[in-house]
Structure 1
Amino acid sequence: MTSASTFVLQTVLVASVLLPAVIQAQVPPDIPPPGDTTYEVRLADGSVIIARIAEVDEERVVLTTPGGGRLVIGRDQIREIRPVRGRIVEGELWHEDPSTTRLLFTATGRALGQGEAYVGTYVVVLPFAAVGITERFATEIGIVAAVSDGDADCCIPLVNFSYAFGRK
């Protein structure tokens, strides 16, 4: 075998392995039937729509957004469709929070809103509590339980700074 025929043979072999994956990637997703489930619909142009499916036919899909808008989209424009992870609150998608119980074990950099509070412990024996006084200011109070007389041993102010770079 010559080097040219070996190259052609290798090219055909690589193409035969990769081509089925490319062909499969072009198969349009299955569109679920209309219902009350809210979906994340990713379109060919990269945009993402959060909506429920209102109608489906051979050429188009009608979506209803949480705000009540209706969108008619060609089936060929839909690249991916999956149920949303989270819930709709007053027309907005609130994503699931993976850190809901993290404050039980230690403090975080997450800012507290006005009136929000949490309690926790540092290294199990150092209890503390934090309270949001305003949207930008909170305070944390802790007690060293092993050597404390019951009074607060530390008080830490927590200030939230938000920066918007590139905005005028």
Structure 2
Amino acid sequence: MADITLGGNPVKTLGNLPEKGTKAPDFNLVKTDLSTASLTDFKGHKLVLNIFPSVDTGTCAASVRKFNEKASALDNTKVLCISRDLPFAQNRFCGAEGLESVISLSDFRDGSFGNDYGLTVTNGSLEGLHSRVVIVVNEVGDIVYTEQVADIKDEPDYESALAAL
């Protein structure tokens, strides 16, 4: 389990992130049109998994905007913004912001993505939500980069994540 903080207060996660060099675990997440997306739907593409507690917070929204800006210039790369927000909230946010270079996916149904990836917060005010994590997956499904952000209120290291592509 990861020992992280939320505004300096200790928080724990369910487990550890998948290791660099391993295959990314498959998932079933909900798209904004309520259909299901799995890892295999993105086979052959580089992936940035931008994972966060809720798009309705400032730092989470900033990460979606920043990856949207950077993603539009990348070849063969998809940015998946993953949270436990309802697909309706994700769609509303991206529509209002004009964000078209990211794909919003929700883990609201059963939280299995957060559990399988070891990033579900297990205590504190965000218990049950995802911690702030970036995972980069190459075209063949191998994890090439992970970052468990030390304090959930902080933004991820965008440049290191993008450099891993």
TM normalised by structure 1 equals: 0.21
TM normalised by structure 2 equals: 0.22
Higher RCO, 1 vs 2 (CA within 8 Å, ≥6 residues apart): 2
Return the structure number with greater helix share. Answer: 2
